[in-house]
Amino acid sequence: MKKEMKFNRLFVSLMIAGCTLGFVACSDDDDPQTPTEPKVEDVYGDYTGTMQTVLLDQSTFAEGEGEEPAGVDVAAQVKNDTVYFDEFPVRDLVVSIVGEESADAILEAIGKVSYKVGYEATMTAAKDSVYMAFDPKPLEISVPMGEDNTLTVKVEVAAANKGNYEFETKNLNMGLEASSVTVNDVPFPAFSATGFTFEMKKK
């Protein structure tokens, strides 16, 4: 009899525990999820996309005769209010300085060119995107020319406009302009002002 009473008590206890857990689970399911408030740090992350190059003074694309090119692949990382390019596309810049025939050899000698652009972020009034006011510094490229001989190419870079990151699409758009070039601190007058338009998406 005692064993039967103990069994009944155990059975009732398990039933109560099961009902309690079921009630808690159902209550959790019924609670609406509080939407996450967007913040400017949501821009941080890894991006891939394309970069297009345009000659500003001629209103034509650098890759050929006014037709819009597909652009070159580009990847970037955004963190700590800075956009980092581990491999910044510089082919069009090099071509504009040394010409098409010598560009491939120069690019091989240069290797990968890294570049970073700082920015100040501002949330839009609608809180659906972030404006990014860029503060680019000169892009410096070291070109090995032989033993103990290196050319230093300095490209003055400015922000074409404010960048924009959209929360819903995770798209980041930005524009930069190269206004002038010096080679070993000597102005290179043949350089044409060039614009770079980036269209990237967060992974």
Which among 104, 200, 109, 195 has a CA at the least distance from the CA of 155? 195
**How far apart, in Å, do the first and last CA atoms of the chain sit?**
66
How many residues are recorded in the chain? 203
12 with 81, same domain: the answer is no
Return the higher-pLDDT residue of 53 and 58.
Answer: 53
44/143 same-domain check? yes
135 and 164 part of one domain: yes
Judge whether 128 and 100 are in contact, CB under 8 Å.
no
Residues 107 and 58 in one domain: yes
The answer to whether residues 22 and 60 belong to one domain is no
Helix (H) or strand (E) holding 121: strand 115-123
| Whether residue 60 is found in the same domain as residue 9 | no
Q: Do 99 and 138 sit in the same domain of this protein?
A: yes
Phi and psi at 178, nearest 5°, equal -95, 115
User: Is the same domain home to 162 and 184?
Assistant: yes
Domains: count for the chain: 2
Are residues 22 and 57 located together in one domain of the fold?
Answer: no
Mean predicted confidence (pLDDT) in 42-67: 78
Instruction: Tell whether 47 and 132 lie within a shared domain.
Output: yes
What is the model's pLDDT at position 36?
84
Tell whether 2 and 68 lie within a shared domain.
no
Its pTM surpasses 0.95: no
Look up the domain containing 23 and give its range: 1-34
Average confidence score pLDDT of the chain: 84
